[in-house]
Amino acid sequence: MPAMDKELSPLDCLLPSGTLRICLIILNQPIDEDYLRVLWNKALLRACADGAANHLYNVTAGDRDSFLPDFINGDFDSITTKVKDFYADKGCKLIETSDQDLTDFTKCLAITVEEIQRRQLQGSHILGVNTSLEGDWCGLIPVGGPCQTITTGLKWNLDNEVLEFGKLVSTSNTYEPVEPEIPRKPVTVTTDRPVLWSMGIRKK
């Protein structure tokens, strides 16, 4: 991987046409509705810190089902009972975080970072392919939507390219050739959305 820093535009996240992939945290303040809509649509994960849920509830009247957060954390001393029950009924996770030394924001951020890792939204995978059961083909299929992908260990690697039906799909790929008696390097895949790994099995 090259060591140079990639340029980052902070305000790209407010451009509907921007390419930054984000997670959204909402805090307990009046919400800027314009920002909310753009950010919500782009976000892979959306969270409310305690009373932020009250603001979200108010500002999305008439369309609340389109704005259901993945989780709401806090000691729940700000969120109203009505709002808490509403989001609970809709299946939003309520995570009680009662550590008095940390703010709701900090705790929300910690859970968000954990979720990003757990869901592998910044997913990196290492696939061992040395069982001797590997067939001679493999592929990465962007079923469900485009994904930005980086690979190593394949004959035709992806160099931060977007896989997408109609543009680029990796089929009939294979493993990086190695000298006889030398074990194959593992295949590594980094992706920003779920991507289907598919491989052939050698039958004895």
Please say which residue, 27 or 125, places its beta carbon nearer to its own copies.
125
The footprint of its own copies on this chain (CB under 8 A) covers a number of residues equal to 20
Please say which residue, 9 or 41, places its beta carbon nearer to its own copies.
41
- Is residue 87 within 8 A of residue 94, CB to CB? The reply is yes
Residue 15 sits at the vertex; the CA angle it makes with 42 and 165, to the nearest 5 degrees, is 50
What mask of x and - would describe binding to its own copies in positions 177 to 196, judged by CB under 8 A?
-----------------x-x
Specify the DSSP element, H or E, that contains 163: strand 159-163
Residues of this chain, 97-156, that bind its own copies according to CB under 8 A = 137-139, 141-146
Q: Is the dihedral of CA 24, 167, 188, 202 positive or negative?
A: positive
**In sequence order, what DSSP letters do the residues of 90-129 get, joined into one string?**
TT-EEEE---TTS-HHHHHHHHHHHHHHHTTTTEEEEE--
State the Cα–Cα distance between residues 10 and 14, nearest whole angstrom. Answer: 9
Q: What is the CA radius of gyration of the chain?
A: 22
Please say which residue, 55 or 193, places its beta carbon nearer to its own copies.
193
Strands 123-127 and 134-141: unpaired
Residues of this chain, 23-62, that bind its own copies according to CB under 8 A = none
| Interacting span for its own copies (CB under 8 A) from 21-29, 57-65, 159-167, 177-185 | 159-167
Work out how close the CB of 141 gets to its own copies at its nearest, in angstroms, rounded to a whole number: 5
Work out how close the CB of 171 gets to its own copies at its nearest, in angstroms, rounded to a whole number: 4
- One residue of 173, 187, 189, 190 binding its own copies per CB under 8 A: 173
**Contacts to its own copies by CB under 8 A:** 137-139, 141-146, 164-166, 169, 171-173, 194, 196, 198, 200
